[in-house]
Chain A
Amino acid sequence: DGGITQSPKYLFRKEGQNVTLSCEQNLNHDAMYWYRQDPGQGLRLIYYSQIVNDFQKGDIAEGYSVSREKKESFPLTVTSAQKNPTAFYLCASGLAGEVDTQYFGPGTRLTVL
């Protein structure tokens, strides 16, 4: 079955620790995205990647880092520099064509204690 997976579903970390969220897709999509969702707010773009070995900052990239070494994988690291990291993180992928329909993973809820 084709799809996009994120792991883990729930993640707890102590303040000051870096943490990496996994995102894998087997849809053969070129484009991948990371969003953050907070209560009462729309999805906000953290980073996106159009192609392997290339990625661009979104609207709220500070305190985050990504890599795109393989087409299937786009991990997100939440660093200790991120001031308010507790949130629901969503990864998405798309065909990067004329219509940017995005397909989302199940999300990771990160809680920093």
Chain B
Amino acid sequence: GQNIDQPTEMTATEGAIVQINCTYQTSGFNGLFWYQQHAGEAPTFLSYNVLDGLEEKGRFSSFLSRSKGYSYLLLKELQMKDSASYLCAMYTGGFKTIFGAGTRLFVKA
């Protein structure tokens, strides 16, 4: 079957580093997305990983291990505006993207 798991909630302190994990199971896999979604707003694209390894983009980095069915999003130098839900999504091809339930991140002062 197809399944994505990520923690429901996380809390971290302003200025710190936080890692949001995502595990997935699927028969067909093309790549893995991370989106950010503020409450009541549209998800916005953060990253797309196809190959194993870490991709860095400013304060945000995303890691993928295809053999382990595992990804994480790393947020550095946390800011209050980073408080949002982070959606992990696997692209299985053929216009099919399967989204996880999201991890709600609370950043405290």
Binding site for B on A (CB under 8 A): 31, 33, 35, 40-45, 48, 50, 56, 88, 90, 96, 99-107, 109
- Chain A residues with CB under 8 A of B4: 42
**A106 near B102: Cβ-Cβ < 8 Å:** no
**A31 near B99: Cβ-Cβ < 8 Å:** no
**B101 near A42: Cβ-Cβ < 8 Å:** yes
B45 to chain A, nearest CB (A): 6
**A103 near B45: Cβ-Cβ < 8 Å:** yes
Question: B residues 37-90 with Cβ under 8 Å of A?
Answer: 40-45, 48, 50, 87, 89
Question: Count of chain B residues with Cβ under 8 Å from any Cβ of A?
Answer: 24
Partner of B95, one of A50, A104, A105, A109: A50
- Chain B residues with CB under 8 A of A106: 41-42
Partner of A42, one of B30, B95, B99: B99
Binding site for A on B (CB under 8 A): 4, 8, 30-31, 33, 40-45, 48, 50, 87, 89, 91, 95-102
- Chain A residues with CB under 8 A of B96: 45
Give the interface SS of chain B, mostly helix, strand, loop or mixed.
Answer: strand
Q: A40-B101, A43-B99 are known contacts. Are A104 and B87 too (CB-CB below 8 A)? A: no
Most B CB contacts (10 A, CB to CB) among A33, A56, A107, A109 go to: A107
- Chain B residues with CB under 8 A of A35: 99
**B43 near A100: Cβ-Cβ < 8 Å:** no
Q: A43-B87, A101-B33, A101-B48 are known contacts. Are A107 and B101 too (CB-CB below 8 A)? A: no
